[in-house]
Structure 1
């Protein structure tokens, strides 16, 4: 955690020495981590499906957007809390725009960060990877000072030839986010005690057929199957979520609250 009054140069030196803002995939370290600040607001740390590392989010909006990125087949890498370095260039841009540069309580300029640096497959040729910068902000919080900060960001990445954009809350698919949040922690089989690849491989055909041939709540179907197989309650439901997160099975994730649905249809992903 940052000590109050600690000079910026000292904070920046320590973070850069730790490798913050550097690397890709599992090796990437966000420039800002959830434990760098006192517990104000919503902070989340989640183990990524693709990166295998913990991702750090400073707001629920960031976490929600991250869920949609994780679920996309076009996303290769997600680097959150990405720093705009060198800081000297953002200071210069702020002067050129005649707007204040983000600073600490002492008035010292801080290293600016953007919410997400996303690496995607190329549009025409998938192997031509592209970086895209996306920053999030609820519409109600798009104040003049925020827009000034965003203009510094936009110009900084424009100079680097990197696509930059704002994601507002109205653009985020609420049903998809709810459903992804519900299944998210089931990606790793080790998260559920008593399950292993062998017994999961054995029961999945039975679960698949039972859900697709029954109009009852699929949660009740799973609980019934738990009894049939001698599993702890919730095991078969976890398996369904595990199959969905790993995209071995698919269903309409845009439905309103999958947890409440009856007669859902599962498909095997080819």
Structure 2
């Protein structure tokens, strides 16, 4: 839950807002905090998103891992990190006591702080409705600090006033193996970034799906080697396409265990042929 401190005057905050920080949706969203302007106490990272086609900024491993979980969730349609509590923040004042109002201002200079929520997630429900969820990511040990608790209470009331579900997620609640598996396949989502044309993408995916069905009793690694040889491709291309199909969720494995290509093809859940190709074509449109 970063807070703008130091030389963040009202003038500078307004300038950031005018420059579009904390505004927009999808590809046009600019996180209010980015790893270039703000120092991180954790391990900062930048990752290009599947859903937004823009670079996302994270200040800790927990933020990055939560992002991967949201990328893999097919109901999520937008991910906005480091979302600032700016719009309608004045409505909060009548809803806060003096102790909580203090968390919105620098007590020495009187300048405002801008609280940011780690993620504002947009999901599409099964009935087609669009819903937003705000989530703060925090190390569980910091929840014992009074200042941290009070800032979270300010955020809870802010999102409640705006009619948006809010929650806190600690590092203990993030499934690390699942997040690492998604990280492992994440860069394979867009094959055009590897110089593979759209027509070849469909050809390569179709043939690997066929082999995975035909060789249920063989290890995945052996089938990927057969694939490379039969297609006369450089070693490793089969693994890339395998990871690509996992990322697109055309094939599925138990993602709560480390991905292991020594396991048998029979452990893979492969969509029916027509359904699989339809799903693949839908994702590549």
TM-score range, shorter chain: 0.7 to 0.9
Question: 1:157 and 1:34 mapped to 2: Cα distance?
Answer: 25
Say if 1:88 and 1:243 are closer, same or farther in 2 by CA, change over 3 A. closer
Task: State the partner residue of 1:116.
Answer: 119
- Offset, 1:166: 0.8
Question: 2:262 and 2:176 mapped to 1: Cα distance?
Answer: 16
Scaled by the length of structure 2, the TM-score of the pair is 0.81
Say if 1:153 and 1:22 are closer, same or farther in 2 by CA, change over 3 A. same
Classify the secondary structure of the residue corresponding to 1:22.
Answer: coil
Gaps of 5+ in 1: none
Written as runs of structure 1 = structure 2, the 5 A alignment for 1:119-158 is: 119-122=122-125, 125-126=127-128, 128-142=129-143, 143-158=145-160
Classify the secondary structure of the residue corresponding to 2:260.
Answer: helix
The Cα offsets for residues 1-34 of structure 1, whole Å up to 9 and x where unpaired, read as xxx9634224312211111111111111111111
Please tell me the root mean square deviation across aligned C-alpha atoms, in Å. Answer: 2.7
Larger mean Cα displacement after TM superposition, 74-83 or 171-180:
171-180
Question: 2:244 and 2:79 mapped to 1: Cα distance?
Answer: 21
1:120, 1:131 within 8 Å by CA — same for their partners in 2?
yes
Classify the secondary structure of the residue corresponding to 2:136.
Answer: strand
Gaps of 5+ in 2: 276-285
- Offset, 1:53: 1.1
2:192, 2:198 within 8 Å by CA — same for their partners in 1?
no
Classify the secondary structure of the residue corresponding to 2:122.
Answer: strand
Say if 1:10 and 1:144 are closer, same or farther in 2 by CA, change over 3 A. same
Question: 1:69 and 1:238 mapped to 2: Cα distance?
Answer: 22
Question: 2:178 and 2:135 mapped to 1: Cα distance?
Answer: 19
2:134, 2:165 within 8 Å by CA — same for their partners in 1?
yes
How many residues are paired up?
263
